[in-house]
Amino acid sequence: MKTGLSNFLKRILLILLVLLFQFMSLCADDNRISMQSEVDRNSITIGDYIDYKIILDYDSDLKVTPPGLGVNLGMFEIKDYNVIPAKEIAGRVKKEFSYKISTYTTGEYTIPGITVEYFEQDKKRQIISNPIKIEVKTVSSDGKLADIKDVKPLYIPEVSYKKAIIICAVLLVLIIIVVIIYIKKRNRISTEIQYEEVIIDYFKEYLERLDAVERDLETTDIKELYFIIDDIFRQYFSIYIEEVVMEMTTYEIIKKYSGNLPANIDRKAFAEIKSFMEHADMIKFAKLPETMKQAEIDINFIRSFINEYVVEPVKGKRIKGGKTQ
């Protein structure tokens, strides 16, 4: 019975010794490193700055990872960060880390404790600073709004109506002067140019143009020749039907007039026109080889068309010594 009680007492004593050793170890750790956080004030108005410091005091043989710029300070923003040079006295190192912080919301907030890691004989340990409560007010203690200023009114530049009227008047005078100069110049040109009335005979003119083409037939390139005679035909055709077709393609002309023949042109004549224009396009654009004999046949077709569909002479104007208007 006594032996059992003795063993029980020994176990209790052993447990107490272990707990005492751990307690002494913790006390020794606390003595080897300490960490404290502090602020210059615990109550601010919105937008004010707080000077927040972390102070580390530790044995020089410890390897300490200092807090950096990225620490979590809750609702507060870090505006500035400084590290005060370390001081070493009697084997102890003292370091201070200074933060300038602020917030733009009101209420009661807590700056949380900052965790710092350190190594003792290659064992990783941690120490946490004390949290601090801060009150952020909308107004200062004297009842005035803090850091809130009236919005400046919208700046509207003064308008000088007198200057604006003068500028508009000057511009108007300049415009009138320019218009007068332009009219006088145009009238002077029109008076200098003298016109004369003439009788324009398109029938005769286009037959003469065909005669000129035939005179140079042997020396003209076949492709260039078809550009010339096709142009002559299209111009005369436009004059006869009194519609401009010069800018239209052969396909557009055929599509427009095949169902509604122009002027007095019959269906047989229009079929010949279609055949000539399509043939001319093949030579001009598809480089279809052709002989001068066929070119003569096409020139004779144009001549026959002009003789068949005569455009009566009309009165017109031309500059003296110049071209017909």
Q: What is the pTM of this model?
A: 0.40
Query: What is the per-residue pLDDT for 300?
Result: 92
Q: Which string of DSSP letters, residue by residue, matches 174-212?
A: HHHHHHHHHHHHHHHHHHHS-EEEEEE-HHHHHHHHHHH
- The string of pLDDT tens digits covering residues 205-241 is 999 999 999 888 888 888 898 999 999 999 999 888 8
Percent of the chain, pLDDT > 90? 21
The band of 315, judged by pLDDT with boundaries at 50, 70 and 90, is confident
Structure-token pair, residue 240? 């006869």
Q: Bridge partners of 111?
A: 132
Sequence spans of domains, the chain: 32-137, 161-192, 199-319
Order of strands across the sheet that contains 115-120: 63-64, 115-120, 123-128
Q: Is the pLDDT of residue 321 over 80?
A: no
Q: Is the pLDDT of residue 322 over 90?
A: no
Q: Is the pLDDT of residue 66 over 70?
A: yes
- The string of pLDDT tens digits covering residues 248-292 is 999 999 998 888 888 788 889 899 999 999 988 888 887 777 778
CATH (one of 3.30.565.10, 3.40.50.1820, 2.170.140.10, 2.60.40.740) for 32-137: 2.60.40.740
Least confident window among 13-17, 68-72, 192-196: 13-17
The band of 4, judged by pLDDT with boundaries at 50, 70 and 90, is low
Q: CA-to-CA distance for 20 and 17, rounded, in angstroms?
A: 5
- The string of pLDDT tens digits covering residues 98-116 is 999 988 888 889 999 888 8
Q: Bridge partners of 83?
A: 97
Q: Bridge partners of 118?
A: 64, 125
Mean pLDDT score of the chain: 81
- When pLDDT is averaged across residues 294-320 and rounded to a whole number, the result is 85
Tell the burial category of 112 from Cβ atoms under 10 Å away from its Cβ (0-12, 13-18, 19+): middle
